[in-house]
A and B are shown apart, each in its own frame.
Chain A
């Protein structure tokens, strides 16, 4: 069966510090991978998606970037965090179906 991991679960970072969130998927090959953010009281905003290694599409211009160094690894990064980057970050995957399957999420607080 397929499993998706995200870490860390929670993170508190000062403004201006770098960020690296990691997502890995097990039990499937060549998945589509997605990064979402849920800000407080808001819906799910798609940030990036990837259909293959090294292929990244950005949905919203922002302070963040994404990379996919391996088939089942998706990384969300920032060089300098802003207060507005606070939120709940979710990684998701899909393969042959439309339904996406989400990881447990990372709660990021920027102070």
Chain B
């Protein structure tokens, strides 16, 4: 069964607006990551947040983690048409699990020019 559930499944916004995607998970984690997938391509790592962190920034990306609620959010500010892609959260239990990741079902983001 999937560890993560993402919300919304699809999101359509105008260029310049902010996009927020949410991820919930079920078991304890070592880290949570967000990946991006352009249509027909492989996944590319965006940002990682560890279980003892609450917020992390990278360029136009902001990730928050609430371990008490077992949830995370990804905020993309000032979106661009090139941000159109699917975004996946992935949870990791750490080295003891062979660094395996469990992926959510993804959010399809469309940024209209």
Q: Do A and B come from one complex?
A: no
List residues of chain B with CB under 8 Å of any chain A CB. none
List residues of chain A with CB under 8 Å of any chain B CB. none
